[in-house]
């Protein structure tokens, strides 16, 4: 290990927000999987000088990193979600996570089924007569925002505002230049500051008049006898808002995108609705909403045949791990008959996605309703898809559809 590389790893640029040079175009961002397959075969653990980080592509290695928080830390001293449970290690992480766990228990999530169905039918009724819709704008975007807003206890009428700033907070840099990183950081900081000021007002109201919502629960909670600080409350609110809608939006969109690309799978799911949970899981594996998860090495550690030094950034390419032929049979084929599907799209270990049960339920309801309500879902001819400008998110900005009732 050279002294030069040790110094470059110290730059305050979170590598998960800087695009890999291999994914340099909209075409590659819309379908990066052959690139991941190639990298996994030829260079499964590699150091990227341009991003000052390690990229890890094999399932076995990604799984090892995610399940070992003592070796690979989630703590980062930068970023808009700094101070949230996303960037926290035990024991503080364990205690903070337990606070919101009760809001996402299987029973608590199941109790939301009727509300999710009601909102889904309401949103689809708005486009029912048109024969066309933009899935992201008309359903996949607003549905999870409405549900998480209700859980948090913030006005649903502000959902467009929430969506706008959630999108800003997952955007990455346009390229790996310092200028692009600074522009992205400025936008994310402004978005974060706006949401902080917004939530400060809500928190102040709830302190005076508590309600049956997550913000009131967090205000009343104590860790080791102490209440959460205002900064911790704000980080929680922003994380839950962003994570509560961004992942689910892309899960629903990616599933429908695939259905428009594969008529046989669409017909199979439509004629056998009990297969919808399998459709959701295979979408998570095949078109994962989150492509990559970042960690920082807490000590010198060997992964594959490479030694990662303490303090260096490690990017776990979940989208590659999910297609590892050493783990999955026919990994590049989308199938609803897959018996074992241990994908890593919700992470693994102590940072396994808190909202996974809710995301799965919302996707299940949305897909079941779409396939029950409409005869066929098709992409609009000539419509060009545009990838979400984020190195770690996989999705499209809009998905124009035509359908028959």
**Cα(127)–Cα(253) distance, integer angstroms:** 16
Q: How far apart, in whole angstroms, are the C-alpha atoms of residue 169 and residue 190? A: 9
Helix (H, G, I), strand (E, B) or coil at 20: coil
* Least confident window among 41-45, 76-80, 127-131, 236-240: 76-80
Average pLDDT value over all residues in the chain: 87
State how far the alpha carbon of 373 is from the alpha carbons of 120, 261, 340, 369, in Å. Answer: 11, 19, 30, 6
Domain boundaries, the chain: 3-404
The Cα 86–Cα 231 span in angstroms is 14
- DSSP, collapsed to helix, strand or coil, labels residue 368 as helix
**Nearest residue to 359 via CA among 221, 269, 268, 240:** 240
Residues 179-226: tens digit of each pLDDT: 877 887 888 888 888 889 999 999 999 999 999 888 998 888 887 788
103-157 pLDDT, tens digit per residue, is: 677 788 888 999 999 999 999 999 998 999 999 999 999 999 999 888 888 888 8
* CATH number of this structure's domain 3-404: 1.10.630.10
Smallest CA-to-CA distance from 62 within 303, 308, 383, 278 is with: 303
- pLDDT exceeds 70 at position 375: yes
């Amino acid at each position: 290990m050279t002294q030069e590389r040790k110094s470059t790893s110290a730059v305050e640029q979170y590598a998960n927000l800087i695009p890999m040079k291999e994914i340099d175009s909209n075409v590659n961002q819309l379908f990066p999987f052959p690139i991941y397959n190639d990298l996994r075969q030829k260079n499964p653990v590699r150091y990227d000088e341009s991003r000052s980080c390690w990229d890890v592509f094999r399932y076995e290695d990604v799984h090892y990193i995610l399940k070992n928080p003592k070796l690979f830390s989630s703590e980062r001293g930068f970023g808009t979600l700094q101070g949230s449970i996303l960037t926290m290690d035990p024991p503080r992480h364990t205690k903070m996570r337990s606070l919101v766990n009760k809001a996402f228990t299987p029973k608590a999530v199941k109790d939301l089924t009727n509300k999710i169905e009601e909102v889904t039918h309401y949103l689809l009724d708005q486009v029912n007569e048109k024969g066309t819709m933009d899935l992201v704008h008309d359903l996949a975007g607003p549905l999870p925002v409405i549900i998480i807003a209700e859980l948090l206890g913030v006005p649903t009428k502000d959902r467009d505002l929430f969506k706008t700033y959630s999108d800003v907070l997952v955007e990455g840099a346009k390229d790996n230049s310092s200028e692009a990183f600074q522009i992205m950081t400025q936008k994310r900081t402004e978005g974060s500051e706006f949401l902080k000021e917004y939530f400060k007002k809500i928190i102040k109201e709830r302190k005076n008049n508590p309600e049956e919502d997550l913000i009131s629960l967090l205000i009343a909670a104590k860790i080791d006898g102490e209440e959460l600080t205002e900064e911790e409350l704000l980080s929680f609110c922003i994380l839950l808002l962003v994570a509560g809608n961004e992942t689910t939006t892309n899960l629903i969109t990616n599933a429908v995108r695939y259905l428009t690309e594969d008529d046989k799978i669409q017909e199979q799911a439509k004629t056998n609705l009990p297969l919808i949970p399998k459709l959701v899981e295979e979408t998570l594996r095949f078109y994962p909403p989150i492509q990559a998860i970042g960690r920082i090495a807490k000590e010198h550690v060997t992964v594959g045949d490479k030694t990662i030094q303490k303090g260096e950034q490690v990017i776990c390419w979940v989208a590659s791990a999910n297609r590892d032929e050493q783990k999955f049979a026919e990994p590049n084929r989308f199938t609803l008959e897959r018996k074992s599907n241990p994908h890593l799209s919700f992470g693994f270990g102590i940072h396994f996605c808190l909202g996974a049960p809710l995301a799965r339920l919302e996707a299940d309801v949305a897909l079941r309703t779409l396939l029950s309500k409409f005869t066929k879902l098709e992409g609009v001819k000539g419509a060009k898809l545009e990838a979400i400008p984020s190195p770690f998110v996989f999705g499209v900005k809009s998905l124009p559809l035509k359908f028959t009732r």
